[in-house]
């Protein structure tokens, strides 16, 4: 196996390479041992944090760390969740396949790769993704409870694999809930259609870019998770306005966004090149005001990890 290709100039800076060298030593040790053990997660997290601090202090560039991460991953960790994130099969790390792999706790079958996937799934961020599916289900329950007789109309914006919709309908077959799902990725739509094939009468799919088109039937609940944290503020406000416009009076818009409290951020950004627009509760509130929401109609909640925030706007 040829040696790891460190960017040469890192060694030229005084002490600059140290956190990357430490990370490499640890990773090589763990790779040789067949992947990290749970007792080693804290050490790996701490080493990642130190690497992140070095990037934030501009001691090492993010590009150099990423070049190292891609090199090491393609040599030793092909087939893992980390490799999947770096691979960006559909153009970015958090595509529908990745999200579904998180929901289903997918792990590589090879034992020496599986341990890396178990480490991946133990992170706060994938936990938050799984929690947000439960959050959506709770939200649906509370909306159904609020209107026991009439049907509930739900718009699912950037619906991805629609596993959340499938599970809800399977668990609540008697409820009159109708979903319109929009996604810009045709493979996501095809996957989601298969996922929801048994109840095609309740779930309609639109293969569209939500920044250009939204079905405008009038919805009781508009839900979007895993999209707004990829949008710059301007697009965030533009889309939020559009979502509010297709929500019925008395209805609710709920938009997920990763918080600036994300203990997995260094892992995601430095080893997975998975970059999100992390936002604070105040920032989300401010963007909601810019979109025209009344101050007393806005609330920000979160799932148990505290990593995925949810901006609620009552109409
Ligand atoms: C991270 S996944 C989230 C999927 C789903 N909401 C979930 O949480 O399970 C993001 C999805 O957004 C879709 N997407 C990204 N930009 C979009 C756009 N402009 N219009 C519609 N869908 C978009 C992607 O194709 C992908 O399926």
> Which phi and psi (to 5°) does residue 87 adopt?
-70, -30
Q: Is 134 touching ligand 1 by the criterion CB < 6 Å? A: no
pLDDT recorded at residue 1: 45
Q: How far is the CA of 239 from the centre of ligand 1 (A)?
A: 13
Q: Tell me which of 95, 101, 227, 243 to substitute to probe ligand 1's pocket, judged by most ligand atoms within 8 Å of the beta carbon.
A: 227
pLDDT recorded at residue 8: 47
Q: How far is the CA of 227 from the centre of ligand 1 (A)?
A: 5
Q: Is 226 touching ligand 1 by the criterion CB < 6 Å? A: yes
Q: Give residues with Cβ within 8 angstroms of 214, minimum separation 6.
A: 155, 157, 182, 208, 242, 243, 246
Q: How far is the CA of 210 from the centre of ligand 1 (A)?
A: 9
Q: Give, for all 315 residues of the chain, the pLDDT tens digit.
A: 444 555 544 444 444 568 898 999 999 999 999 999 999 999 999 999 999 999 999 989 999 999 999 999 999 999 999 999 999 999 989 999 999 999 999 999 999 999 999 999 999 999 999 999 999 999 999 999 987 778 999 999 999 999 999 999 999 999 999 999 999 999 999 999 999 999 999 999 999 999 999 998 899 999 999 999 999 999 999 999 999 999 999 999 999 999 999 999 999 999 999 999 999 999 999 999 999 999 999 999 999 999 999 999 999
Q: Give the Cα separation of 278 and 6 in Å (integer).
A: 30
Per domain, the residue ranges of the chain are: 8-123, 125-314
Q: Give the Cα separation of 47 and 45 in Å (integer).
A: 5
Q: Is 273 touching ligand 1 by the criterion CB < 6 Å? A: no
Q: Give the Cα separation of 141 and 172 in Å (integer).
A: 9
- What's the CATH code, domain 125-314? 3.40.50.150
Alpha helix positions (H), the chain = 18-32, 41-56, 62-76, 81-87, 96-103, 111-121, 124-146, 163-171, 186-195, 233-245, 265-266, 281-290
Q: Tell me which of 158, 184, 207, 238 to substitute to probe ligand 1's pocket, judged by most ligand atoms within 8 Å of the beta carbon.
A: 158
> Which contiguous run of DSSP H or E holds residue 107?
none
Alpha-carbon torsion (292, 288, 254, 240), positive or negative: positive
Residue 210 and residue 241 in contact, taking contact as beta carbons nearer than 8 Å = no
pLDDT recorded at residue 301: 98
Q: Give the Cα separation of 169 and 127 in Å (integer).
A: 22
Q: Give the Cα separation of 175 and 251 in Å (integer).
A: 18
**59: nearest Cα among 26, 22, 90:** 22
144-148-150 Cα angle (round to 5): 90
Q: Give the Cα separation of 125 and 140 in Å (integer).
A: 23
What value does the CA radius of gyration of the chain take, rounded to a whole number of Å?
Answer: 21
Q: Which two tokens stand for residue 211?
A: 């920044």
Question: How far apart are the two ends of the chain, measured CA to CA in Å?
Answer: 60
Q: How far is the CA of 157 from the centre of ligand 1 (A)?
A: 7
pTM: 0.92
> Which contiguous run of DSSP H or E holds residue 178?
strand 177-183
**104: nearest Cα among 139, 141, 133:** 133
pLDDT recorded at residue 105: 98
Q: Give the Cα separation of 220 and 310 in Å (integer).
A: 17
Count CA atoms closer than 13 A to 289's CA, side-chain side.
8
pLDDT recorded at residue 7: 52
pLDDT recorded at residue 13: 44
């Amino acid at each position: 196996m040829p040696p790891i290709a460190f960017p040469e100039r890192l060694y030229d800076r005084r002490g600059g390479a140290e956190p990357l060298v430490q990370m490499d030593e640890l990773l090589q040790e763990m790779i040789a041992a067949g992947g990290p053990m749970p007792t080693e997660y804290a050490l790996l997290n701490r080493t990642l944090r130190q690497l992140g601090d070095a990037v934030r202090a501009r001691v090492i560039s993010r590009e150099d760390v990423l070049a190292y991460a891609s090199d090491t991953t393609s040599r030793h960790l092909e087939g893992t969740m980390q490799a999947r994130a770096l691979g960006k099969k559909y153009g970015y790390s958090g595509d529908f396949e990745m999200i579904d792999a998180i929901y289903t706790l997918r792990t590589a079958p090879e034992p020496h790769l599986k341990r890396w996937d178990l480490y991946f799934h133990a992170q706060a961020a994938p936990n938050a993704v799984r929690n947000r599916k439960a959050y959506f289900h709770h939200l649906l329950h509370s909306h159904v409870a609020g209107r026991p007789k009439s049907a509930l109309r739900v718009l699912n914006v950037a619906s991805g694999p629609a596993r959340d919709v499938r599970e809800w309908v399977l668990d609540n077959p008697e409820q009159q809930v109708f979903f319109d799902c929009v996604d810009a990725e045709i493979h996501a739509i095809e996957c989601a259609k298969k996922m929801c094939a048994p109840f095609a009468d309740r779930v309609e799919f639109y293969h569209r870019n939500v920044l250009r088109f939204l079905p405008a039937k009038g919805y009781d609940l508009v839900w979007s998770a895993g999209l707004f944290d990829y949008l710059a503020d301007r697009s965030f406000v533009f889309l939020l306005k559009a979502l509010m416009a297709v929500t019925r009076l008395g209805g609710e818009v709920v938009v997920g966004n990763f918080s600036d409290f994300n203990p997995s951020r260094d892992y995601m950004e430095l080893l997975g090149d998975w970059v999100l627009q992390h936002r604070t509760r105040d920032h989300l509130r401010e963007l909601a005001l810019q979109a025209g929401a009344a101050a007393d109609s806005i609330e920000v909640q979160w799932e148990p990890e505290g990593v995925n925030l949810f901006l609620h706007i009552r109409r």
